[in-house]
A and B are shown apart, each in its own frame.
Chain A
Amino acid sequence: METISTLPPELIRMVISAIIVITFLFLNAIMMGYAERKIAGHVQRRPGPMEVGSHGILQMIIDGIKLVAKELIIPFNVDRTLFRVAPLLSFTPVILPFLVIPFSEKLQARDLNMGLIFIVTMGSVNVMACLVGGWGSNNKYSMFGAMRAVAQAISYEVPILLSILAVILMCNTFSLKGIVGAQQKIWFVFLQPVAFLIYVVAGLAETNRAPFDLPEAESELTAGFHTEYSGMGFSLFFLGEYTNMFIVASVATVLFLGGWHGPHLPYGEYLGVVWFLLKVYFLLFLMIMVRWTYPRVRFDQLLNFSWKYLVPFSLANLLITAVVVKL
């Protein structure tokens, strides 16, 4: 007891939140994996996983165990260091944004005044993982995947930033708590519908989700940048993808859907997390539905779409916002 009291309280707070975050992250990936498979199943009029546990609820856990137990095969002639670093690189940066996401008024590990910028930066580190993994794999398909990932990320960062900027102009702060606080009366999705749409579309591309899953387009590149990965290496990419989705969805919630705001609950400053998660998972549900509905775009079309539609629209939107705010 004494040792604990001598430790700085801030450190304890950080450790506890780190543990919570990592637990949540795995839980989220398991839930998302299960939801994805179930939804995909029902969309295709089949039941999805049914065997392990009631309605296959334990399927993802079993799969996780299988993946962990598998040998991490390192193919001949790969760049060993890069090959091993890549999965970690895809996994680590997606943990950090959890530090600043305000789950509810009081549930936030750290309220950086540059929170939003922090998240965006961490989000773009993720593409490094694709690049490093694809490059290190010494496989032409992986290489294609890596190149695509980079091209895609570069062109989609721009509309994301521009659409975020429109919101920033309206509430004058980069702190996520501040942004949510500014939406007390009205959610920004109603004031900034264009920015919201742009953010969601660009977010899909940012997370490499279908129809923008070009880096791993399995019918073209077998599995893209993670073709050569097995076992835990593969599952870290997988975890990274789901967590990244969660982050994109929660940023969208914070920026546009009013974060923890919702009908009043007792202990609102803590239980706001219910509204927050509901909104996030609604967005995630949409993302899953989109994946199971559309064909994949071609990557030059994807870039065209970004530069021809998203960027001009977000610029125009930004301009209008600026003018309106000034007035």
Chain B
Amino acid sequence: MKQYFSELFTGGMSLVEGLGVTMKALFMPIVTVQYPREEIDISPSFRGHIDLILDPEKNSYRCITCGMCEKNCPSNCITVKGEKLEGQKKKSLVLFDLDFTKCSLCGTCVEICPVNALEYSKEYNLAAFSREAFHYDILKRLEERIK
């Protein structure tokens, strides 16, 4: 009998306490960010898809088309092609493709590059209607930035 009442009492009290917590929360400021209208700064080490670094001295990429990133990518999503253009000693980049649908953002390519030619972009607003839209032409992106 005693237990019967004590259970009712403690149980009831616990329910009231719980209600107290939510009541208090009701009048506290909200913590979410209204995304499309407000944005928070992303952290500097955020990993978006990869991008070629724009070397300010050369005003161009640093890549030497060695193909290390292509070879070491666990998801096989990079395609690099270099050609020796006329009148140049070194190979220059003609194609740098990233198949972002497969990329696992592991960072191997960025770390393995011998001349530090790659970086992570800060893009996170990525949405499209087709897979092909995620096949990025990284070289073209760089050229656009140069302009």
For the residues of B in contact with A, the DSSP-based class is helix
Cβ-defined contact, B31 with A45, below 8 A: yes
Closest partner residue, chain B, to A44 (CB atom): B25
Cβ-defined contact, B26 with A39, below 8 A: yes
Q: 0/1 per residue, A40-51, Cβ < 8 Å to B?
A: 011111110010
Does B13 count as interface, using CB distance less than 8 angstroms? no
Does B32 count as interface, using CB distance less than 8 angstroms? yes
Cβ-defined contact, A289 with B19, below 8 A: yes
Number of interface residues of A (CB under 8 A): 16
A139 vs B25: C-alpha distance in the bound complex, in angstroms? 39
A293 vs B19: C-alpha distance in the bound complex, in angstroms? 6
- A sample of 7 cross-chain residue pairs with beta-carbon separation below 8 angstroms, ordered by A number, consists of A43-B26, A46-B31, A46-B32, A47-B30, A293-B22, A308-B4, A309-B8
Cβ-defined contact, A45 with B25, below 8 A: yes
- Within 45-81 of A, Cβ neighbours of B (below 8 Å) are at 45-47, 50
Question: Could you list which residues of chain B lie within 8 angstroms of chain A, going by C-beta atoms?
Answer: 4, 8, 15, 18-19, 21-23, 25-32, 34
A41-B30, A47-B34 known; 16 other A-B pairs, CB under 8 Å? Answer: A42-B27, A43-B25, A45-B25, A45-B29, A45-B30, A46-B30, A47-B32, A289-B22, A289-B23, A290-B19, A293-B18, A293-B19, A293-B22, A294-B15, A294-B18, A308-B4
Cβ-defined contact, A42 with B31, below 8 A: no
Cβ-defined contact, A293 with B21, below 8 A: yes
Closest partner residue, chain A, to B29 (CB atom): A45
A42 vs B30: C-alpha distance in the bound complex, in angstroms? 7
Question: Could you list which residues of chain A lie within 8 angstroms of chain B, going by C-beta atoms?
Answer: 39, 41-47, 50, 289-290, 292-294, 308-309
A290 vs B22: C-alpha distance in the bound complex, in angstroms? 9
B35: min CB distance to chain A, Å: 11
Closest partner residue, chain A, to B21 (CB atom): A293
Cβ-defined contact, B19 with A42, below 8 A: no
Cβ-defined contact, A43 with B22, below 8 A: yes
Task: Report chain A residues within 8 Å CB of B8.
Answer: 309
Task: Report chain B residues within 8 Å CB of A47.
Answer: 30, 32, 34
B38: min CB distance to chain A, Å: 11
A283: min CB distance to chain B, Å: 14
A174: min CB distance to chain B, Å: 31
Closest partner residue, chain B, to A211 (CB atom): B15
A209: min CB distance to chain B, Å: 14
Task: Report chain B residues within 8 Å CB of A42.
Answer: 25-27, 30
B3: min CB distance to chain A, Å: 12
A229 vs B27: C-alpha distance in the bound complex, in angstroms? 36
Task: Report chain B residues within 8 Å CB of A308.
Answer: 4
A292 vs B19: C-alpha distance in the bound complex, in angstroms? 9
A203: min CB distance to chain B, Å: 16
